[in-house]
Amino acid sequence: MILVTGGAGFIGANFVLDWLAVHDEPVLNLDKLTYAGNLETLASLQGDARHVFVQGDIGDGALVADLLATHRPRAVINFAAESHVDRSIHGAEDFIQTNIVGTFRLLEAVRAHWGGLPEADKAGFRFLHVSTDEVYGSLAPDAPAFTETHGFEPNSPYSASKAASDHLVRAWHHTHGLPVLTTNCSNNYGPFHFPEKLIPLMIVNALAGKALPVYGDGMQVRDWLYVKDHCSAIRRVLEAGAVGETYNVGGWNEKPNIEIVHTICALLDELRPRADGASYTAQITHVKDRPGHDRRYAIDARKLEAALGWKPAETFESGIRKTVQWYLDHPDWVAHVQSGAYRQWVQAQYGAPVAA
């Protein structure tokens, strides 16, 4: 069995679904079910004995210790995190508590469990920590992409809290010998993405006839990684990654945000044309840029390819088409995650439009 934390969130749930599609090894899924955690994403696993769900917090050391003692997983994959930059700007404390304090308490519970295992089980145990490229800071337009040796220069409360968690994982390996692995990924997109992030927000707003809010000039560049490619990379790192190592996971798809929005509009024009015949690009609205908005991220994933033979299966063109089609095919899922609290938050965050 493996223990997955944050397994009802976007990336975690995709990982659980993909894992059980290719493995019979059971998953113990621990998730706090905050606003972005959604059990409806895992509805297809209802009644599947290979999936054991527990609602709880990684910061609850006693609960984690009990789960480890009862289920004796051979690995822990830690997805649990507060992950939205905008929310971290307006309310950093949740990020400090989950991403830093929670990771610390999880590490301590895992260390105690690991220390008591028989030697053979101890040698095979792994703690895989899933992190972000945002810990590296912002790149100049012509700067080389982030490698695993790039210094940490986080610029938001979110990225600072993730950088701290990465440092804790490293320290628990070097100080206590805990067999850890760390992955730092670029921007994920794909099915089951909570519609506060760029790609699902654009799809959902476009279909609803709402404005498509683009921060500033829209020229912020990100490397885009299809979530199922990310899941396959994590499986590969868990399988064969060298203990103590960090692996960057990227999609080799650097694109400015405004290009992403235009691509989504073009796909929707093709797949679900507006009733009035106009392009969805008519709904694009530039809004005031957020504070400290990083201009460019880019991942150099050559280490992962060279060491473990992994590279993404999807191009951006194939992945974004699958993503848009998924949202068109699953309106009920979208409607159910868009609570009144979510709508109020979007309004407060993006506010009134400004001139481009």
Q: Two tokens at 269? A: 């024009």
Q: Nearest to residue 77, comparing CAs of 14, 35, 133, 119? A: 14
Task: Indicate the burial class of 101 (C-beta count within 10 angstroms; 0-12, 13-18, 19 or more).
Answer: middle
| Cα angle 210, 211, 213; round to 5 | 140
Q: Which two tokens stand for residue 27?
A: 């998953």
- Cβ(242)–Cβ(257) below 8 Å: no
Residues with a catalytic annotation lie at: 133-134, 158
Q: DSSP letter at 288?
A: P
Contact 181, 154 (CB under 8 A): no
Q: Are the C-beta atoms of 120 and 72 separated by less than 8 Å?
A: no
Tokens of 143: 């700067």
- C-beta separation of 201 from 273 below 8 A: no
Q: Are 177 and 254 in contact (CB under 8 A)?
A: no
Report residue 126 as tokens: 């792994």
